[in-house]
Amino acid sequence: MIIVIDDDFDRRFGEIPGVMHATTPEDGLALVRSHWGEITHLFLDHDLGYDDKFLPLDIRPVVSWLEERAVTEGPGKFTIWVHSMNPKATVLSTGLNNRGYTCHRVALTFAQKLYHKLVE
């Protein structure tokens, strides 16, 4: 199963049957938790827009949960693709790799091509 957490999913990736997606960290974390053993690829955007009070949202709550899960129960057996040019994404990617995940920080165009290849 592929999960994409991106605030601009429709424009960047497009709706594909069988692909789960979320636009907020809360919804993304709910998807990851509920489909834990089924995930094969997890696409993460760092910056996830703004909440209703215009405060910035980002992927950190999901990454924190993944890191905690790796410590308590071991990392997931899926590949994580961080498609963000935000410098903070490097720190998040490194942290996930250090916890035993296979995590790659890639350009959005690479992530889009890979996504479409995986869903063919």
Q: Which domains does the chain show, CATH number per domain?
A: 2-119 (3.40.50)
CA dihedral 106, 107, 108, 113 (to 10 degrees): -80
Closest to 107 measured CA to CA, from 45, 62, 53: 45
**Measured between alpha carbons, how far is residue 96 from residues 65, 81, 103, 119 in Å?**
11, 11, 6, 24
Structure tokens at 13: 């990736």
Give tens-digit pLDDT for 58-116.
899 999 999 999 999 999 999 999 988 778 888 999 999 999 999 999 988 888 899 88
Query: What average pLDDT does the structure give for the chain?
Result: 90
| pLDDT at residue 12 tops 80 | no
Question: Model-level pTM?
Answer: 0.91
Backbone φ, ψ for residue 6 (5° rounding)? -155, 135
